[in-house]
Amino acid sequence: MKREKVNNSKKIWKRTFNYFLKYKIEIIAIIFFCVVESLIGVFSPKLSGKGITALSAVDAVGNPSVDMNYIFELLSFLLVLYSIDALCSCLGRYFLTKVSVRMVYDIRNEISSKINKVSFKYLEKRERGDLLSCAVSDAETLGTNLIGSICSTISSLILGIGTFFMMVSISWEITLLFFVILPLMLGLVSLILKISQKYFLSYRKKLGEMNGCLEETFSGYEMVKALGMENYLKNKFDAINFSLKQDSDSANFLSGLMGPSMGFLSNLLYVVCCVVGGYLAIVKRMQIGDITAIIAYSSKITQPLIDISAISGNFQTAFAASQRIFELLDAPEESKASESCSFSNLDIEFKNVSFGYDPNKMVLKGVSFKIKSGESVAIVGETGGGKTTILNLLMRFYDVSSGSIFIGGKNITSLDIKEYRKYFGIVTQDSWLYSSEVMQNIRYGNLSASNEDVIQTVEFLGLDSFINSLPSSYDTVIQESASNLSEGQKQIICIARAAFSKRLILILDEATSSIDTSLESCLQESLAKALCKKTSVIVAHRLSTIKNADLILVVKDGRIEERGKHEELLLKRGIYYDMYSKTL
């Protein structure tokens, strides 16, 4: 199990670093500037030490003997060196930001593309807030943390190795003292990294849960208020927030321990260097400039290990974000069948279809029926009987567990799914509209059409008086979640949209459930025009709206118990008769 986890970590890192390959030139530039900047940091203390030694030079009798030309040349060289350091720092950060922004852009594009392909079954298991967190927060975290951490790692390695060799060149005795403290530093770093990793991963997951809770609260705000569920949701949010705080406290506390601990060891080394360096100066084995340089190096040589606290935290956060991103990118997709959707007719046939959202609990059991091209078929029955599931299977939101569905004699599982769905227009009970003008919402799905085409369709359906009754007619802006429209108004706009899409098969799932009875007769005429010469499948609780259907299917407990026209089913005095009698 441990070996498998290690291999999985390698795969995640390998996939993550593949994003950099698109920007090889920029990455090379970043590394180059990073290396130059680090090398200047390595050599500058020794050069400064040489200047101090030159300033403290005395002749044979102890009088000052300072070579000002040498000092001037050395200072000029240091000025040029530090100017190059500043330039490299600016250019390095410019390219770093550029690659980071592009990487986040690429990841979000890939997530956007994936979300349009991922299966409905997978989406049902993930909270919407969690998906939002993945696309926004995790992508940002991965792009910004990872590249900066890589550069910091390169700088730390160069600084650490370079400083070590510079210290050895000055005094191997003092350098040896560093190796007494090094095991303590490495052991501390390893321990903290091991413990803190789980808290960083848990934090990212809890952040997704928090986003989901907030999205749930705001999307159903009116219902929350109406049912008095404020305390419930507050307690739920507080619980997630408390858990998030605990993970954050633990992760940041452990990461925070590293800096002070490493700082203490670094300061201890600094004091030892001062004492030993002073002694070596007294016995004339070291020059004053070398002592100054090695004291400066003593703080630099521990700096890479101190930086590991920040670098390791960033790497762990980036790794946790990568895991969540790749989990989404590896999610199962909808079918990739590619057979062309060229039909001689649009006959729909279900053959012994069974299906369950849970494999151990079938919702549909051996359902069979046939709809001829141009027919209007209604599906009625008790709630939970399987009506909407039939529509979901027909739209291929899910695939059957057993049996087959055919259109025009072709098994729909073999057809290109995007091309296949272009034959369908759909209106659901939960009317979906997006934040834009009414005109744009009706045109949605056929965006190239003109305003005149939309108006003609609305007038043909007899819905122009309704549209004109809105505050700004077709230019009325629908607010977020369509909060400025009633449910009935939303359904009317969705029906106009479905009719305007000019799809050959229309699916209406409780499409008139929220329509006022005063508008129902008018809307029935509109629907009759919209459904004319089209194949239609209608799910309805209002049986008065489907009396003229060519075929009515009565579904109960996942099976079709009755089928026929309205009058035929009434004569049977069965389930449909009982349902219809209750509406009178």
Closest CA to 306 of 201, 192, 146: 192
The SS3 of residue 419 is helix
Give residue limits of the domains in the chain: 19-329, 348-583
Q: How many CB atoms lie within 10 A of CB 442?
A: 29
In order of 47, 279, 299, 457, the CA distances from 292 in angstroms are 11, 13, 11, 86
What is the share, in percent, of the chain residues with pLDDT greater than 70? 82
> What's the whole-number average pLDDT of the chain?
79
Q: What is the pLDDT of residues 115-148, one digit of tens each?
A: 878 877 777 777 766 777 777 778 888 877 777 7
The pLDDT, as a whole number, for residue 64 is: 66
Q: Residue 225: pLDDT band by 50, 70, 90 thresholds?
A: low
Q: Are strands 559-564 and 551-556 parallel, antiparallel or unpaired?
A: antiparallel
Is it the case that residue 531 has pLDDT exceeding 90? no
Q: What is the pLDDT of residues 416-449, one digit of tens each?
A: 888 888 888 888 777 777 778 888 888 887 777 8
The pLDDT, as a whole number, for residue 119 is: 79
Distance CA 207, CA 194 (A): 22
The pLDDT, as a whole number, for residue 369 is: 92
Give the phi and the psi of residue 352 in degrees, each rounded to 5: 50, 50
Is it the case that residue 458 has pLDDT exceeding 70? yes
- What are the tokens at 304? 């890479």
Q: What is the pLDDT of residues 463-509, one digit of tens each?
A: 788 888 888 888 888 876 666 777 777 878 888 888 887 788 888 88
The SS3 of residue 472 is coil
Q: What is the pLDDT of residues 308-354, one digit of tens each?
A: 666 776 777 788 888 888 888 888 887 777 788 788 788 999 999 99
Torsion from C-alpha of 104, 107, 111, 117, nearest 10 degrees:
150
Quick one: the chain helix, strand, coil %, rounded to 5?
65, 10, 20
The pLDDT, as a whole number, for residue 328 is: 85
Lowest-pLDDT choice from 76-90, 304-318, 343-357, 549-563: 304-318
Distance CA 253, CA 231 (A): 31
**Which runs of E-coded beta strand occur in 314-359?**
348-355
- What is the C-alpha end-to-end distance of the chain, expressed in Å? 65
Domain 348-583 sits in which CATH superfamily?
Answer: P-loop containing nucleotide triphosphate hydrolases (3.40.50.300)
| Most distant CA atoms of the chain, gap in Å | 131
CA angle 135, 137, 140 (to 5 degrees): 90
* Total-model pTM: 0.65
> Is CATH 1.10.3210.10 the classification given to domain 19-329?
no
Token pair 């700004």 is at which residue? 472
CA gyration radius for the chain?
36
The arithmetic mean of pLDDT across residues 506-528, rounded, is 69
Q: How many CB atoms lie within 10 A of CB 340?
A: 10
Q: How many CB atoms lie within 10 A of CB 226?
A: 9
- What are the tokens at 99? 């690659």
Lowest-pLDDT choice from 92-106, 340-354, 507-521: 507-521
Element holding 322 (H helix, E strand): helix 288-329
Q: Residue 305: pLDDT band by 50, 70, 90 thresholds?
A: low
Determine whether 409 is exposed, middle or buried from the number of CB atoms within 10 Å of its CB (0-12, 13-18, 19+): exposed
The SS3 of residue 119 is coil
Distance CA 400, CA 394 (A): 9
The pLDDT, as a whole number, for residue 24 is: 84
- What are the tokens at 487? 């449910």
